[in-house]
Amino acid sequence: MIPKVFREVIDLGDGREISIETGKLAKQAHGAVVVQSGKCMILCTVVSNYEQKDLDFLPLTVDYREKFAASGRYPGGFFKREARPSDGEVLTMRLVDRVLRPLFPKDYHSETQVMIQLMSHDEDVMPDAMAGLAASAAIQLSDFPFECAISEARVGRVNGEFIINPTRAQLEGSDIDMMIGASADSVMMVEGEMKEISEEEMTEAIKFAHEHIKVQCAAQLRLAEAFGKKETREYPAEREDADLEKKVYDMAYDKVYAIAQAGSAKHERSAAFSEIKDSIKATFSEEELADFGELVSKYYRKAEKSAVRDLTLNEGLRLDGRKTSDIRPIWCEVDYLPSVHGSAIFTRGETQALATVTLGTSREANKIDMPSYEGEETFYLHYNFPPFCTGEARPIRGTSRREVGHGNLAQRALKGMVPADCPYTVRVVSEVLESNGSSSMATVCAGTMAMMDAGIQMKKPVSGIAMGLISDSASGKYAVLSDILGDEDHLGDMDFKVTGTADGITACQMDIKVKGLGYEILVAALKQARDGRLHILDKLTEAIAAPREDVKPYAPKMVTVRIPNEYIGALIGPGGKVIQELQKVTGCTIVINEDPVTEEGIVEILGTGQEGIDAVLAKIDSLTFKPEVGSVYEVKVIKMLDFGAVVEYTDAPGNETLLHVSELAWERTENVTDVVNMGDVFDVKFIGFDPRTKKDKVSRKALLPKPEGYKERPPRDDSRSGSRDRDNRGRDNRGRDDRNSRDRDRKRD
């Protein structure tokens, strides 16, 4: 018996719908929904254990996976089973986690798991745009302590018109690709890439998405009401002590304020704050610390946060002595590493990134093999954040989700500035060597300079900046902070990263921690970010004003040529013999792809030496050589025959043809050697193709003056030829007649 199913439908306003359904699947989960649009179906389940963990944070895991069966495919690789998540899946996990996590109570520490699975795929639906909706809808059906319903939506803009949750095909013609996460009241998360749009245009896109998200949040509430809203579970509240909190606050606030006001470096400041904390703890006995020492640490952190925020709001000063719009000192250097294809160092205050660029062929493209998308990237960026960059020692256990996310942001910031005709596959790697605030934006800046150092003809340089916000709803005061420190990231109400050229925004990532942030504050923050970006851009262009005209001498040079489809096999050779020998002799890498539209062969030649590249090009010219009627070519005699000479085109070695004895000279030639010999080099004229043999016809005599008194031989008389044929037939008939006569004679005998 099929259980009762509850369903809500969301109208996207253009004929498309999203449905949310519950009651049929995964009923032992604390909340489960199936979200569907077209043929795309996502199953989301949520479970949270009832016992509290002894932790000071929420152990929340958001997991998003795409099943290959959803698109009727097998997983690639040797093991035919889905394994570790792809970068695309990790990025979707981060998008959902960043919106959900702040909405759980600060004192809720039960292990919580949100599992989102793509079960059925539709080419016209991008599933990541519905993952946040699915997660929130499932939580609304549970008994979790969760503040309010949220949803996420993608915004595109085609021909000036905004589109909600566009298809992948629509995104190709869009100048905006943004994901917005929000509740009905407040925008909470923004991430995306743009084609040099203005701050006002970005704000309009956010507003457009928010209106649709409000509708999606209302649908979740209706579904929960119809299903039967559960009572929120009770859980042990964290221990609180108001008197102790006031005591710690009184002891800490003024001292912290004074240190913050003095302006100091990260380690010096951290040591001073630690001394204050230790001095406060020293006022308690060992028994008291054993009883409520954790509360003392907690209340100290609150006092420290309050003092630092007040300093900024009251005096416009920050922890390192800067004013709100000041950018830390910057120094840059390019061509730092002697053997890489391109490199650059970007240092801003206590944040430093070293970027390298490697150039390759299409063979080095980053292959993307997901159930929802198959393709490749010829520009990609990897970001590494080792523990020493923050003065820590900890084990490295693979690439973290944070590294994937920060690398993706920097990649999206830069990729639009790589010209469409760039022949290379470009890999940028950022090594973060120091970190105290926005290493991802340092990566963008270092990546820009490294690419220009490598000779990539970027359309425009790109810079990035991390911004913060401190606000007080009671007084209405707020301060927008340019180029935030790591500490300011944690204590602020909003942190957002913006990248762009001098003409507009190329990417952004924003997390808003306060409710009801006004759009006027957002626009003000974005415009202050623009001033900071332009300041940083000036520093980059001081280090390297424009891309180098060519790649480094030791970097590979790339030449791309197209050949007709029928010559691909000849270039490869039997078993790859021709291309392998050519690569061995020239020292070049040769990659052949087929244009899916024209079916031409696209040949990529990558080599450090021009001689090797020229040798490959000469071989291709030789293989694809087609002489033109009436043109003159230089040839060399490579073989002597009784009826002519075999000659090879000197500009196309390997291409040979017969120079018939009748085309050697105007005079009658008895012996070929009377005119030419082995190894002779001379010009011939291409006069077409022999209709009988279908082979080239070339002539030496066509380039020589006719001898005086020369008479052309009369053309063959076809009518006489026809008579001879008839005569032959007559002779044949006579032969048969004679044979019959002889037979008759033998019979008479």
Cα 712 to Cα 602: distance, rounded to the nearest angstrom: 49
Three-state DSSP state, 703: helix
Q: How many residues does this entry show for the chain?
A: 749
CA–CA distance, 446 with 540 (Å, rounded to integer): 9
Backbone angles phi, psi at 653, to 5 degrees: -55, 140
Comparing CA positions, the residue from 381, 401, 367 lying closest to residue 92 is: 401
In angstroms, the CA 78 to CA 73 distance is 14
- Inter-CA distances, 128 with 66, 88, 296, 749, Å: 10, 9, 42, 106
Sorted by sequence, the CB contacts under 8 Å of residue 558 that are 6+ apart come out as 359, 361, 423, 424, 604, 605, 606
Query: What's the alpha-carbon Rg for the chain, to the nearest Å?
Result: 38
Helices (H) and strands (E) in the chain, counts: 15, 29
133 close to 125: Cβ distance less than 8 angstroms: no
User: What count of Cα atoms within 13 Å lies in the side-chain half-sphere of residue 51?
Assistant: 2
β partners of residue 287: none
- Residue 707, token pair as written in the block: 């001898």
Is the Cβ–Cβ distance between 182 and 188 less than 8 Å? yes
Measure the CA–CA gap between 381 and 368, rounded to whole angstroms.
Answer: 14
**In which residue are the tokens 């762009």 written?**
500
| Of 375, 372, 486, 379, residue with least CA distance to 422 | 379
Nearest to 698 by CA among 624, 623, 622, 631: 631
Tell whether the torsion through CA atoms of 23, 26, 31 and 36 is positive or negative: negative
Q: Are the C-beta atoms of 318 and 327 separated by less than 8 Å?
A: no
Residues paired with 466 in a beta bridge: 497
| Assigned token pair, 398 | 């693979």
CA dist 394 to 390, 391, 486, Å?
Answer: 11, 10, 19
Q: Is 489 annotated as a binding residue?
A: yes
Token pair in block for residue 239: 């221990």
In three state form, how does the secondary structure of 408-477 look? HHHHHHHHCCCCCCCCCEEEEEEEEEECCCCHHHHHHHHHHHHHHHCCCCCCCCCEEEEEEEEEECCCCE
The response to whether 495 counts as a known ligand-binding position is yes
**Alpha-carbon torsion angle 369, 403, 357, 432, nearest 10:** -170
Do 389 and 350 meet the contact criterion of CB atoms below 8 Å apart? no
Distance CA 526, CA 541 (A): 22
C-alpha distances (whole Å) from 428 to each of 380, 381, 431 are: 6, 5, 10
Binding annotation for Mg(2+): 489, 495
Binding annotation: 489, 495
